[in-house]
Amino acid sequence: MVQPARTLDSMNGKARLAVWKFTSCDGCQLSLLDCEDELLQLAGCVDIAYFMEAASDPAPGPYDLSLVEGSVTTPDELKRIREIRAQSQILVSIGACATAGGIQALRNFADVDDFIAAVYAHPEYIDTLKTSTPISAHVPVDFELNGCPINKRQLLEVISAFLHRRPPQVPAHSVCIECKMRGNVCVWVAHGTPCMGPVTHAGCGAICPAYSRGCYGCFGPKENPNTTSLCDWWQQELGAEKTVVIENLRNFNAADPVFEAASRRREDGGGQE
């Protein structure tokens, strides 16, 4: 049975790290293996107790820090996330699937009538849930790291912060701030390119504007975003079609409550949300 989680204070020796996969593309856990310069050092600081993509010797819990990638889309995953929570002192959701349901949450917007009309050609999939939901919809989460994919520097910061029992330094401001810090020319002001930067959570380093394209919101909403104003500007000043506005709110963080509400309002109400 599940043992009571240990506190970080009672850690005996190295902290035990676990990496879990739910419904996802593996890209966020790969970010850990993409820390080529830091991986072996990290492995020296923590005991990587469970990481199926990288190791075939999984150790049983409890775990000090669990990183959870992916969204919940099956009854089995519903059960599994509760077991993992019970065995984890700290649980951090990593990436847009885990924090907002991911691209697969587009199913949440599909017409239920389509499903009813469809034929059950594959009865073994009836265990697939109708929705894709974030980890926080099912268990308490200690921290959410945004991004599709997450930024590996931020991942290292989060791991380091929890090991040292301090809050992670992950700014919740917009991509616009990162653009200024990077010295990018504003693609919106200079070229009239529709950009999600003003409402999107920082973390990527403003890469899209740096490559002459508008941000498409893969880090989800920033703190207190004004999506109504952004969408109006897109449509009225930049001539973007409503479907394009909705598609940009409804991609990798489609089921994030802020983006979901904005896209539904836009769908229902035309110009004004």
List the interface residues with another protein, window 195-214 (CB under 8 A): 204, 207-208, 210-213
Does 223 help bind another protein (rule: CB under 8 A)? no
Does 267 help bind another protein (rule: CB under 8 A)? no
CA–CA separation, 100 vs 137, rounded Å? Answer: 9
Does 114 help bind another protein (rule: CB under 8 A)? yes
CA–CA separation, 230 vs 151, rounded Å? Answer: 25
Give CA angle at 132 (106, 244), nearest 5°: 20
Interacting residue with another protein among 45, 55, 172, 190 (CB under 8 A): 55
Q: Helix, strand or coil for residue 266?
A: helix
- How many residues appear in the chain? 273
Query: Whole-number minimum distance, CB 167 to another protein, in Å?
Result: 25
Residue closer to another protein (CB basis): 59 or 165:
59
Does 130 help bind another protein (rule: CB under 8 A)? yes
Q: Mark the segment that binds another protein (CB under 8 A) among 21-29, 162-170, 172-180, 262-270.
A: 21-29
Alpha-helical (H) ranges within 118-205 are 152-163, 175-182, 187-191
Residue closer to another protein (CB basis): 9 or 268:
268
**Which residue bears the tokens 């890469």?**
207
Query: Whole-number minimum distance, CB 265 to another protein, in Å?
Result: 19
Interacting residue with another protein among 28, 170, 176, 258 (CB under 8 A): 28
Tokens of residue 236, six digits: 């009225």
Query: Whole-number minimum distance, CB 224 to another protein, in Å?
Result: 25
Number of residues that bind another protein (CB under 8 A): 76
**Residue in 253, 175, 182, 244 with CA at minimum distance from that of residue 215:** 175
Q: Helix, strand or coil for residue 31?
A: helix
Does 72 help bind another protein (rule: CB under 8 A)? yes
Interacting residue with another protein among 12, 56, 224, 272 (CB under 8 A): 56
Residue closer to another protein (CB basis): 165 or 241:
241
Please state the φ and ψ torsions of residue 174, each to the nearest 5 degrees. Answer: -90, 170
CA–CA separation, 151 vs 101, rounded Å? Answer: 18
